[in-house]
Amino acid sequence: MIPRPPVVTIMGHVDHGKTTLLDALRSSRLVDSEFGGITQHLAAFSVTLDEAERAACNSPNYSPIGISYPKAAISSITFLDTPGHATFTAMRARGAKATDFIVLVVAADDGVMPQTVESIRLAKDSNGGKYELFIIQNLFRT
């Protein structure tokens, strides 16, 4: 079996900066082209790690928390962008089930909102409760 790259799903409440965060990672402005400024589908993209990043991931000292990957498999990382609007719960649930890591984006000026709580629940319910959750507090919304 060919090992797959790790999958990182970005989740959170609507307008808390999920797509903007990913735009920064991929040097794009997809958020500008979304109808009504709202993500309405699951979007995926991969980042190929450069030589130094691959070396760090494949070093004997590297071990993602609770996740074991064949060392040669970590040459890229796949990111999933999920919609934050209440209407798209099923899409967030699919994203949570297909992931190794969840990054929960929370806008500092709004704090915890309904889809923030829902995203935490989806993370806990998916994958038998075995997940990695990282929370980013977004201080710079546009």
Active site residues: 85
Could you tell me the two tokens for 10?
């970005």
Tell whether the torsion through CA atoms of 17, 49, 53 and 97 is positive or negative. Answer: positive
Q: Sign of dihedral through CA atoms 36, 39, 41, 44? A: positive
Integer Cα distance of 36 and 91 in angstroms: 18
Side by side, the strands of the sheet bearing 101-107 are 43-48, 76-81, 7-12, 101-107, 132-138
